[in-house]
């Protein structure tokens, strides 16, 4: 896609850049990078999201990179005529609230689960959405200031787990481009003092609850936990030498949040969670990482033996995928 076509589409309209709910570093960096790209090309925009940003490391991005974004509750004057560019997500997905404005464009790096007609669509299967946004600067020879470059570099590093998860050669190529223009001190700042006491409690609860079924590790956090932290703990469980697929879930007031990781070529995490939650919730994502949610009113469908039922659902999907490989 030619990103300047997006610029022309947006001119003359009020523009919002919407990330997925409870945005992670890649979503925030993508929105921030796109906001600047549009600005230097004559289009003003606001970054917005639904949900909270609870993770300390994610909240720290706003101060370190000088980012401004508004939650859904802070936007009271959006109209149906306003344009929305969705980044790091896609309309009709469970992790994207339907705002009042018109979602006319989408920039994402996840597989499409539900089709939707946009006037501008740039969906590429790469390691991070920040990679796509950074490539816009490279394609058009647009000036890339150090703080923007640093945020994009951090977004790529975080979503690919430093190029150990779901990364492609294109991610490395674009990362090299932004890293040359980045301020390494800003990136280093993001790795200092980013853990809270509540994070340790979540790790402790997950460790206490670990259940192994062959190479699949399950862990339950019996209290509300931010999306980003659930994902980090899922990576942590996957790092165990006996685990190649991890399933971590957090009990919330409004339901159950899941994060799944797979380092097996034959096990697609996105397909696994979509199948496991079918009939009770929604899920999807990449081959290596995915997320999902069971709403509160559907939790009762899991029965009295909820944890055992969850494990059975995921193990069944694992076997289905393994048989398909034979």
Q: What is the DSSP string of 226-237?
A: -HHHHHHHHHHH
**Percentage of the chain lying above the pLDDT 90 cut:** 77
Mean pLDDT for the chain overall: 92
What confidence tens digit (pLDDT) does each residue in 242-289 have?
999 999 999 999 999 999 999 988 999 999 999 999 999 998 888 888
Q: pLDDT value at position 326?
A: 59
CATH superfamily of 3-189: inorganic pyrophosphatase (n-terminal core) (3.90.1640.10)
- Given pLDDT bands bounded at 50, 70 and 90, which one contains residue 325? low
Q: pLDDT value at position 161?
A: 84
Residue range 47-63: mean pLDDT, rounded: 86
- Write down the domain spans for the chain: 3-189, 197-325
Q: Are 111 and 91 in contact (CB under 8 A)?
A: no
Q: pLDDT value at position 53?
A: 82
Residue range 118-128: mean pLDDT, rounded: 96
- Given pLDDT bands bounded at 50, 70 and 90, which one contains residue 165? confident
Q: CA separation (Å) from 11 to 45, 234, 268? A: 11, 42, 40
Q: pLDDT value at position 46?
A: 97
Cα(71)–Cα(47) distance, integer angstroms:
9
CATH code for the structural domain at 197-325: 3.10.310.40
What confidence tens digit (pLDDT) does each residue in 169-228 have?
999 999 999 999 999 999 888 877 566 777 889 999 999 999 999 999 999 999 998 887
Which range (51-55, 65-69, 224-228, 247-251) has the least confidence? 51-55
Residue 111: count of CB within 10 angstroms of its CB = 16
Q: Which residues contact 133 (CB under 8 A, 6 or more apart)?
A: 29, 30, 33, 34, 37, 87, 107, 152
Q: pLDDT value at position 91?
A: 94
User: What sign does the CA torsion over 113, 9, 11, 66 have?
Assistant: positive
Q: pLDDT value at position 195?
A: 67
Q: pLDDT value at position 192?
A: 73
Of the candidates 200, 231, 182, 197, which has an alpha carbon nearest to the alpha carbon of residue 24? 231
Q: pLDDT value at position 324?
A: 76
Residue range 92-113: mean pLDDT, rounded: 93
Q: Are 248 and 234 in contact (CB under 8 A)?
A: yes
pTM above 0.85? no
- Given pLDDT bands bounded at 50, 70 and 90, which one contains residue 54? confident
């Amino acid at each position: 896609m030619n990103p300047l076509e997006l610029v022309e589409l947006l001119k003359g309209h009020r523009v919002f850049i919407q990330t997925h709910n409870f945005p992670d570093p890649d979503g925030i960096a993508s929105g921030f990078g796109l906001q600047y790209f549009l600005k230097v090309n004559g289009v003003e925009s606001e970054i917005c999201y639904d949900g909270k940003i609870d993770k300390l490391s994610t909240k720290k991005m706003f101060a370190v990179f000088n980012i401004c974004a508004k939650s859904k509750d802070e936007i009271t004057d959006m109209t149906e005529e306003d344009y929305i560019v969705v980044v790091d997500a896609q309309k009709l997905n469970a992790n994207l609230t339907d705002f009042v404005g018109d979602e006319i464009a989408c920039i994402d790096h996840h597989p499409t689960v539900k089709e939707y007609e946009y006037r501008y669509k740039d969906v590429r299967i790469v390691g991070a959405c920040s990679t796509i946004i950074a490539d816009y600067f490279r394609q058009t020879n647009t000036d890339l200031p150090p703080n923007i470059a640093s945020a994009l570099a951090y977004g790529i590093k975080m979503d690919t787990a430093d190029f150990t998860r779901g990364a492609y050669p294109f991610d490395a190529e674009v990362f090299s481009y932004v890293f040359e223009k980045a301020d390494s001190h800003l990136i280093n700042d993001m790795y200092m003092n980013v853990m809270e006491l509540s994070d340790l409690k979540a790790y402790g609860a997950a460790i206490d609850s670990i259940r192994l079924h062959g190479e699949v590790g399950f862990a339950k956090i019996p209290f509300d936990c931010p999306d980003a932290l659930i994902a980090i703990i899922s990576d942590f469980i996957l790092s165990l030498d006996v685990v190649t697929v991890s399933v971590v879930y957090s009990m919330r007031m409004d339901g159950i949040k899941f994060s799944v990781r797979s380092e097996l070529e034959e096990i697609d995490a996105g397909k696994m969670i979509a199948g496991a939650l079918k009939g009770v919730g929604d899920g999807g994502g990449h081959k290596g990482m995915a997320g999902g949610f069971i709403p509160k009113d559907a939790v009762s469908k899991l029965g009295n033996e909820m944890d055992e039922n969850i494990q059975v659902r995921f193990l069944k999907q694992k076997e289905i995928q393994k048989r398909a490989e034979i």
